């Protein structure tokens, strides 16, 4: 089954304790992206990757890191989490074409930073 898998689905942690949210897709997609979803602000892009070893900042990259060492994986790293990073996070992937393709989303990771 074609899917984007995020782990963990839920996490409660404390300020300053490094954490990683994993994202894996099995569709051989070149493009992968991280979003955060907040009430009143909607979905905002954090980072994206056009292919292995190619990453770039989205609209709200502060406080986050990513890496793309393999095509299928795109982990999101919070090196020193803070309460304002409490949010619902989504990973997405799609093939890259000149006209755009539907993006496939994971089920989300709800992070609470105390």
* Whether the Cβ atoms of residue 106 and residue 26 lie closer than 8 Å to each other: no
Q: Does 102 bind other proteins (CB under 8 A)?
A: yes
Q: Give the torsion sign (CA, 61, 67, 70, 73).
A: negative
**Closer CB to other proteins, 70 or 107, in the complex:** 107
* Whether the Cβ atoms of residue 33 and residue 18 lie closer than 8 Å to each other: no
Q: Does 108 bind other proteins (CB under 8 A)?
A: yes
**Closer CB to other proteins, 35 or 64, in the complex:** 35
Considering only 15-23, 62-70, 71-79, 94-102, which stretch makes contact with other proteins by CB under 8 A?
A: 94-102
Report the residue from 34, 47, 48, 64 that binds other proteins according to the rule CB under 8 A.
48
**Closer CB to other proteins, 14 or 27, in the complex:** 27
Q: Apex CA 56: angle with CA 15 and CA 3, to 5°?
A: 80
Report residue 84 as tokens. Answer: 């304002």
């Amino acid at each position: 089954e074609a899917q984007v898998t995020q782990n963990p689905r839920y996490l409660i942690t404390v300020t300053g304790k490094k954490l990683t949210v994993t994202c894996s897709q099995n569709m051989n997609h070149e493009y992968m992206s991280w979003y955060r979803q907040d009430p009143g602000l909607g979905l905002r892009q954090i980072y994206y990757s056009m292919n292995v070893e190619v990453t770039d900042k989205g609209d709200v990259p502060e406080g986050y890191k990513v890496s793309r060492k393999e095509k299928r994986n795109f982990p999101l790293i919070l090196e020193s989490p803070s309460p304002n990073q409490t949010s619902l996070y989504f990973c997405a992937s799609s093939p890259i074409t000149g006209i755009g393709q539907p993006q496939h989303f994971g089920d989300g990771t709800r992070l609470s930073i105390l």
